Amino acid sequence: MADERPTAGKLCFACGEANPRGLHMHFTVEGDRATSEFTIPEYLQGFPGQAHGGAVATMLDEAMGWACYGQGILAMTAKFSMRFRDSVPLGEPLAVSGWVTRDRGRFILLEADLHRADGVLLVKAEGLFARIQGKRAETLRRNYEAATLAETPDAETATSG
């Protein structure tokens, strides 16, 4: 069964639909895997016809973040590395996937990959994410819930009722 992120975070650079400069990635989570299919726009060009490496890193990092989210883990990137197998084209359908490989309690190990539509592997990434706990987690959740309410079109009606 697919799971999608709640409405909060609409300004997230990677997946926020309301961010005019964002990547607008849409993820689904099935089992332990988070996946997004997309086409990289020309404004994210590095060398002519190729995606900028920083944009590619963001996409892979976001896939790993969504894999954590899908497992109910609140975490953020502590360490990230990627290896290009081939250049990443602009304007072609691509798919990125991320998954948890090991949950060590405070730290979560993840992997992600980026493929062309024909299945050719372009980039492989590994990440170490730090679990967010305690007061920091409570604060993030509270801010997230407040953002959800603020971003809901009927929020004013619901609160002024």
Model pLDDT, residue 25: 74
What pTM was computed for the model? 0.81
Does the domain at 27-133 match CATH 3.10.129.10? Answer given as yes
Model pLDDT, residue 146: 72
**Strands, DSSP E only, in the chain?**
27-30, 33-39, 75-84, 93-103, 107-116, 121-131
Q: Is 13 helix (H, G, I), strand (E, B) or coil?
A: coil
Q: Is 95 exposed, middle or buried (0-12, 13-18, 19+ CB in 10 A)?
A: middle
Q: How far apart are the C-alpha atoms of 130 and 103, rounded to whole Å? A: 10
Model pLDDT, residue 68: 92
Q: How far apart are the C-alpha atoms of 115 and 87, rounded to whole Å? A: 11
81 in Cβ contact with 87 (< 8 Å): no
Q: Which residues of the chain register pLDDT less than 70?
A: 1-9, 11, 13-14, 16, 22-24, 147-161
What residues act catalytically? 61
Model pLDDT, residue 97: 97
Q: How far apart are the C-alpha atoms of 9 and 4, rounded to whole Å? A: 12
